Amino acid sequence: MINKDISNELIPGQLIVGEKLYAEAIDIILASAQRELLIFDQDLSYGDFASKQKYELLRAFLNKSPSNQLTIILQGTDFFQNKCPRLLNLLTTYGHKMTVYETNETAKHAKDCFILADDQNYIRRIHIDQARFRYGLNDLATASLLNTRFKELLDATKEAITIGKLGL
């Protein structure tokens, strides 16, 4: 369910600036997901992914339906491996519904990141080094473009990351 008390600073479709607002907008998108979550990020170090809040939102999503799917593409897995034990726990528990990939060298140049929920809700950070982003709800046109981009990035990944491959 999407929070109806969205901050006056978090207006869908507008350019928004700030790390705290970015983390809050991610919560909105994660909470909106009903079937599928697609996440592309450099390493999950921005957006508060190591927090209990993100863990709870992702766990609730994965528990919502047996057919729900979470796919994450990362450019590097060090932060995920070393700073996100809760997310690693999700991968252990929900490995049949959650997949994490690392990009190959051809996709390491991408400097944006985004999350797509159910092919309609999204958040897109314009550049990893700046907390400038847009998010949208029920924006099918932008979501379609991001879905196409996600598929292209997925084609540029190595094999899926597993707990065994992380050395745990």
Instruction: Note the pLDDT tens digit of each residue in 46-90.
Output: 999 999 999 999 999 999 999 999 999 999 999 999 999 999 999
| Closest alpha carbon to 108 in 128, 124, 123 | 128
Q: Which two three-digit tokens encode residue 135?
A: 């998010």
State pLDDT tens for residues 35-47: 999 999 999 999 9
Distances (CA, A) of 84 to 51, 54, 79, 91, 160: 8, 10, 7, 11, 17
More confident: 65 or 3: 65
Domains of the chain: residue spans and CATH: 16-161 (3.30.870.10)
H or E stretch at 136: strand 130-136
H or E stretch at 52: helix 52-64
Residue 8 one-letter amino acid: N
Distances (CA, A) of 30 to 21, 82, 103, 117, 152: 14, 22, 22, 7, 22
d(CA 118, CA 99): 16
Beta strand segments in 23-68, E: 36-41
Where residue 6 falls among pLDDT bands split at 50, 70, 90? low
The DSSP code for 27 is H
Q: Which two three-digit tokens encode residue 128?
A: 């990893």
